[in-house]
Each structure stands twice: as structure tokens, then as C-alpha cells.
Structure 1
């Protein structure tokens, strides 16, 4: 990887971590306007494209009064893609998540995720994190 692409990946990593903290950690809906692009492509089949679906999801969390948080365990960036592996608590559930974001011109414009509820018991002694 060249220095320019390393620099871009590092900038994208910082942007995604800041955006995630402000929106999902601080529940600051204005983060959507600062960090998400107007043409936001969503690959989670449960949600439509566009950032308004995220706004509704976070507003629902705020309205429910159920605490939410995410602990970032790992973050990797390459070029315009940033991966976050996190332990999340959302709507009363403990979740293991992998979020993949694509950044373009300083905005998050595309998203993929894999979400799995953390079971009470495991068949092995390894953790999901």
C-alpha cells in the first residue's frame, strides 16, 4: 500500500470511528448530516437505502429509553473501506457486529453489516470478541 493510500485509509478510519461514536454512542442525530452522504447505499436487507432509516432507528432507541452502547474491539481500513468489529448493546440485546463502511469524499456512502446476538451459553470457551 502506498503512503497516499495509507493516509486515505487512516483518515477514513478516523472519520468512521468519529461518526459511529457521535451517532451510535452519543445518539446525536445531527451526526448523520455531518458524516453520511446524501446517496447512502444500505446492504442490510431489513432497511431501505438512505440515511433517514438510520435516523428513525436511532430515534427509536432514544424514544425507548433503553441504553445503547458499542465497544469497538477492532477496526481495519483499506482505501475507501473501513471495518469495525464491535460488542454492541442495542434495544436490550448484546450483539456481536461487523460493520463495513465505504467512504467517498469524506462521507459514509455505503454500508454492509453482519449482526449476531451473543448467546447466554457457548459450545466453546472462546468469546465472540
Structure 2
């Protein structure tokens, strides 16, 4: 399995409410993350992802780009909490050791109803 497919599977499982499985299958023992809203350990993030999926059972997760550079993978996606939500453009950056995710950053930009840029966000 490639690092790109591991990152993609991790995010898809988490978005569908299977964060325990995502973490069990794909993260390393010393996993840490950099989301400013949660403690930096795996358990805290896993539970937050689980709660998000429970609160938003109709979440829509669409991948637009996935890039790899050595032990790093970046995934650019569109996340909507439901079909009426314009959503957020999100970039997840993963760092791997061997075939396990050991570090994660995530950055988001809410998608406004009207944009000035004629190229769109995606």
C-alpha cells in the first residue's frame, strides 16, 4: 500500500465515523498532531473525529489533490457537513515513518457563498 493510499484511507475512514479503525490501521506508536483546538495526542484527535462524524452523519468528503514528497503526503479536499453546507477547503499534511502516519497537520479555509476569484477554490 502506498503512502498516498494510506493517507486517503485514513481520511475516508475518519470522515465516515471509523476513526478508531483509521488510527489502529494507519498511525504509528508515537503519533502526534498539530490541530490548535485539541491536545496533540492520538486519542484526543481520534475521539474528536468520532464526535464530528456522529454529529454530522451526512458528511461529504471529496478529494481534489493528493501529493507525495518523500515521507510527506498532502491531501487537498472539500469537506461539507451535509449537502446544504458550502463547506471548507482542507489540506491535511501527513508525515510517515515507514508505512505509518506519525504526524499530522490540518489547515482549513471556509468556502464563502460568493468569491471574488473567478478560478474558484478548487
Settle same-fold status: TM greater than 0.5. Answer: yes
1:87-119 CA distance string (max 9 Å, x none): 111385600011100011211110112101100
* Gap runs ≥5 in structure 2: none
CA distance in 2: counterparts of 1:77 and 1:41, whole angstroms? 19
From the CA coordinates, give the structure whose radius of gyration is larger.
Answer: 1
Pairwise CA distance, 1:61: 2.1
Pairwise CA distance, 1:23: 2.0
Aligned positions, number? 119
Q: Which residue of 1 aligns with 2:100?
A: 107
Q: Which residue of 2 aligns with 1:42?
A: 33
CA distance in 2: counterparts of 1:41 and 1:99, whole angstroms? 13
Pairwise CA distance, 1:49: 1.5
Change (3 A) 1:90 1:103: farther
The answer to whether the Cα contact below 8 Å between 1:40 and 1:51 also exists between their aligned partners in 2 is yes
Pairwise CA distance, 1:65: 4.4
List structure 1 segments (4+ residues) > 4 angstroms apart after TM superposition: none
* Gap runs ≥5 in structure 1: 1-9
